[in-house]
Amino acid sequence: GESVGLHLPTLSVQEGDNSIINCAYSNSASDYFIWYKQESGKGPQFIIDIRSNMDKRQGQRVTVLLNKTVKHLSLQIAATQPGDSAVYFCAEKQNTGGFKTIFGAGTRLFVKA
Amino acid sequence: DTEVTQTPKHLVMGMTNKKSLKCEQHMGHRAMYWYKQKAKKPPELMFVYSYEKLSINESVPSRFSPECPNSSLLNLHLHALQPEDSALYLCASSQGQVGNTEAFFGQGTRLTVV
């Protein structure tokens, strides 16, 4: 079936550097995408979202880019901090047998001090 | 109040036990969800309730039985579970099932079946 996937399972960056986490999706009918952050022992926490009629959206230190042509989503974190260390999931809202939010595989981000 | 509260935080149960997981939100959200998450894996959707009615059941075994007593509460009744059902069970809510709004997640219940 169609799914949301990630290119890299683990990403290690130096504190202060920018991080880029990538995600590929295959359901061209999906029109809403979300990035979640999950710290150890906690539930996923909303970071930022984007609708399919946009190609970029900025938040505080985070930017999401959407390229519908190649079905690619990315999360950019500026000036990465140790507190950013977590697993990041992209998620896709699709309507297959009902509206549902499907998660990608996840990328673990390590921030080195 | 932007919290989804789940109880208990940890649960150990035997394969013949009956237990329930509870979830509560007071954000006025009309869609509520149960997800199952195994270690190092993404959350997998189990059930969706919309306006207190079961909207989606992702072919979940009948030993998991969801219940939505009112718009703020969501339960997951467990009976005759297997060790492979051990996982983190996450509850979430959103303004509606349809529409582009994010889901808010609780901290989860860590379930161990022995």
Least confident of B15-29, B63-77, B90-104: B90-104
pLDDT at A38 over 80: yes
Query: pLDDT class for A3, splitting at 50, 70, 90?
Result: very low
Quote the pLDDT of residue A99: 84
Quote the pLDDT of residue A96: 75
Cβ separation A89–B108 shorter than 8 A: no
**Test mutation, B100, B101, B104, B109, chain A, max A CBs within 10 A:** B100
Cβ separation B107–A43 shorter than 8 A: yes
The more confidently predicted of residues A8 and A82 is: A82
Query: pLDDT class for A6, splitting at 50, 70, 90?
Result: very low
Residue A104: closest C-alpha in chain B: B42
- Give the one of B4, B40, B103 whose C-beta lies nearest to A101's C-beta: B103
pLDDT at B93 over 90: yes
Which amino acid is present at A107?
Answer: T
Q: Mean pLDDT, to the nearest integer, of A22-36?
A: 89
DSSP string, chain A: ---EE-S-SEEEEETTS-EEEEEEE--TT--EEEEEEE-TTS--EEEEEEETT-SEEE-SSEEEEEETTTTEEEEEESS--GGG-EEEEEEEEEESSSEEEEE---EEEEEE-
Quote the pLDDT of residue A95: 78
CA angle B9, B13, B16 (to 5 degrees): 150
Q: Mean pLDDT, to the nearest integer, of B96-105?
A: 86
CA A30, A33, A37, A41 torsion-angle sign: negative
Instruction: Work out the percent of chain B whose per-residue pLDDT is above 90.
Output: 89
pLDDT at A1 over 50: no
Q: Mean pLDDT, to the nearest integer, of B96-108?
A: 89
Q: Are B93 and B104 in contact (CB under 8 A)?
A: yes
Query: φ, ψ for residue B88 (rounded to 5)?
Result: -95, 125
pLDDT tens figures, A53-111: 999 999 999 999 999 999 999 999 999 999 999 999 999 988 777 788 999 989 999 99
pLDDT tens figures, B18-71: 999 999 999 999 999 999 999 989 999 999 999 999 999 999 999 999 999 999
Q: Contacts of residue B45 in chain A, CB cutoff 8 Å?
A: 100-102
